Structure 1
């Protein structure tokens, strides 16, 4: 996660009186919250990108619910990776199966992040080099 933060942050040194370093975000970090607002008739429903942790297989249902609502889920798998790699494999298999049955995509963003998208959002995977 620190590596990801390093991509989006610029560090500036403070004066020696204040000590430490100051972080200036080039891209603001947004807090994720659920909304219950309804739009006007005919208004296009926004698509949210939601961040969540995968602590057990039960959390796959939360991600699936977001996909059914048309949102994108970015899932932190590190809690389960550290605790139980076998359960992580089961959870990822369940997420992949459910997402693909709904017409969506699942991809890996990093060692600790996975993205799941609904059917109308496609992930363009890197092409593997041909020998």
Structure 2
């Protein structure tokens, strides 16, 4: 199974976007998946505020896990990640990607009623993993 396939599978099976992306990179850099799931637990749904997409947050955690001792490299790779993700997806802000604000009950209802969590979010998870694989 590729990292992309595994991350989408994890997301489709109940993990947050942030957890799914981070988990597929963690073991390579000495962190267990169970630890990655715990670390990434509060970053899904745009940090629960419909802000920066959780898939992006998971990617940044993976970048930090590999390059965290070098601030300059982290800055460069983070900027590159965001630039590529925005170019590919139009934004890196959760509410922009989904077209609704899932920090509100109304936004969550709209997202569920329109299958946005099943149609949009897996694409964002896949995109984040693909970009991270290229730059990490």
The answer, yes or no, to whether TM exceeds 0.5 is: no
Q: Per residue, is there more strand in 1 or in 2?
A: 1
Q: Per residue, is there more helix in 1 or in 2?
A: 2
Larger gyration radius, structure 1 or structure 2: 1
